[in-house]
Structure 1
Amino acid sequence: MTQHIAIVGGGYIGAELAKSLDAKAEVTLIEPRSHFVHAPAMIRGVVDPALLDRALIPYDSLLKHGRVVQARAMSVNGSGVTLEDGRHIAATQVVVATGSGNAAPFKPKGDDIAAFRAENARIHALLKAAKSVAIVGAGAVGTELAGEIAHAMPGKRITLISDQPRLFPDKPAALGAGLAKKLQRASVQLILGQRAQNLESLSEPYAGSLRLADGSEHEFDLIFPVLGSRANSDLLQALPGAQTSSAGRIKVDPWLRPASFPNVFAAGDVADAGDAMTIVATSRQLPWLRRTLLGLGKGKSLEEMKPYAPWGEKSPLLVPLGPRRGSSFLGIMTVGDLLTRKMKGEDLFVKKYRTLLGQP
Structure 2
Amino acid sequence: MDPFVVVGGDAAGLSAASKCRRESDREVIVFEKGQWISYAHCGTPYFVEGSVDRLTDLLSLSPAEAEARGIDLRRGHEVVSVDAEDRTVTVRADGERFEQPYAELLVATGASAAAGPFDRSLDGVFSLHGLDDAAAIDAYLAAPDDYDPARLGDGPVDRDRVDHNAALEPPERAAIVGGGYVGVEMAEALSARGVDVHLYQRSAHLLTPFGAAVGERVESTLRDHGVTVHTDTEVDALVGDERVAALRIDGDERPVDVAILGVGIRPNTALLDGTGVDRGPSGAIKTDDYGRTSLPAVYAAGDVATARHAVTGAETWVPLGLTANRAGRAIGSTVAGDPTPVGDVAGTAVVKAFDLECGRVGLVDESAATDAGFDPVSETITAGSRSGYYPGNEETTVTLVADRTTGRVLGGSIVGRDRAAVRIDTLATAIEADLTVAELERLDLAYAPPFSPVWDPVLVAAKVVNGQLSE
TM over 0.5: yes
Gaps of 5+ in 1: 344-360
Amino acid in structure 2 at the alignment position of 1:4: P
CA distance in 1, matches of 2:224, 2:299: 45
Partner of 1:190: 229
Distance 1:338 1:293, change over 3 A: farther
In structure 2, how many angstroms separate the alpha carbons of the residues matched to 1:149 and 1:74?
37
Give the structure 1 partner of residue 62 of structure 2. Answer: 58
Instruction: List aligned pairs for 1:217-296, cutoff 5 A.
Output: 217-243=253-279, 246=282, 249-253=284-288, 255-259=290-294, 261-273=295-307, 274-294=316-336
The number of residue pairs the alignment matches comes to 319
CA-to-aligned-CA distance 1:156-192 (integer Å, 9 cap, x gap): 3211101121112223333323322221221111111
Aligned pairs for 1:1-360 within 5 A: 4-25=3-24, 26=26, 27-36=28-37, 37-48=39-50, 50-56=53-59, 58-63=62-67, 64-70=69-75, 71-78=77-84, 79-84=87-92, 85-102=96-113, 103-107=126-130, 108=132, 114=156, 116-120=158-162, 122-123=164-165, 129-150=170-191, 152-153=192-193, 155-200=194-239, 206-213=243-250, 215-243=251-279, 246=282, 249-253=284-288, 255-259=290-294, 261-273=295-307, 274-294=316-336, 297=337, 309-311=343-345, 314-321=346-353, 325-329=356-360, 332-339=412-419
Partner secondary structure for residue 76 of structure 1:
strand
Post-superposition CA distance 1:242-263 (Å, at most 9, x none): 44753x533345554444x221
**TM-score, scaled to structure 1:** 0.76
Rounded to whole Å, the distance in 2 between the matches of 1:263 and 1:139 is 36
Between 1 and 2, higher relative CO (CA 8 Å, sep ≥ 6) is seen in: 1
Cα distance in 2 between the residues matched to 1:160 and 1:66: 43
Distance of 1:283 and 1:65 partners within structure 2 = 19
Query: CA 1:228–1:333 in structure 2 vs 1: closer, same or farther (change >3 Å)?
Result: closer
Secondary structure of 1:138's aligned partner = coil
Taking the aligned partners of 2:331 and 2:162, their CA distance within structure 1 comes to 34
Secondary structure of the corresponding residue to residue 223 of structure 1: strand
Aligned-partner SS, 1:262: coil
Distance in 2, Cα, partners of 1:253 & 1:341: 30
Q: Deviations over 1:71-109 (max 9, x none)?
A: 111222342433124333332211100011225453248
Distance of aligned partners of 1:92 and 1:143 in 2 relative to their CA distance in 1, 3 Å threshold: same
Q: Is the 8 A contact 2:5 2:29 kept in 1?
A: yes
- Higher radius of gyration, 1 or 2: 2
Which secondary structure does the structure 1 equivalent of 2:234 belong to?
coil
Residues 7 and 31 in structure 2, CA contact (< 8 A), matched pair in contact too: yes
Please give the secondary structure, in 2, of the residue aligned with 1:183: helix
TM-score of the superposed pair, with normalisation by structure 2: 0.59
Partners of 1:309 and 1:288 in 2: CA distance: 9
* In 2: Cα distance, 1:122 partner to 1:43 partner: 20
Secondary structure of 2:158 counterpart: helix
Q: 1:183 to 1:124 in 2, by over 3 A?
A: farther
- Over 3 Å counting, the alpha-carbon distance change for 1:287 and 1:173 in structure 2 is farther
Q: Does the CA contact (< 8 Å) of 2:7 and 2:107 recur in 1?
A: yes
Amino acid at match of 1:210: L
Secondary structure in structure 1 of the residue aligned to 2:213: helix
Secondary structure of 2:81 counterpart: strand
Kindly provide the CA deviation profile for residues 38-82 of structure 1, in whole angstroms up to 9, marking residues without a partner as x: 322322333448531322563221242231122111222342433
Q: CA deviation at 1:206?
A: 4.7
Do 1:47 and 1:124's aligned partners in 2 also have CA atoms closer than 8 Å?
no
SS of match in other structure, 1:86: strand
Q: Residues 237 and 250 of structure 1 are in contact (CA less than 8 Å); yes or no, is this contact kept in structure 2?
A: no
Structure 2 unaligned residues grouped into runs of 5+ = 114-125, 134-154, 308-315, 363-411, 424-471
Which amino acid in 2 is paired with 1:46? V
Whole-Å separation in 2 of the counterparts to 1:337 and 1:120: 36
> 1:125 Cα deviation (Å)?
6.8
Give the secondary structure class of the aligned counterpart of 1:53: helix
1:145 shift after superposition: 0.6
Q: Percent identity?
A: 23
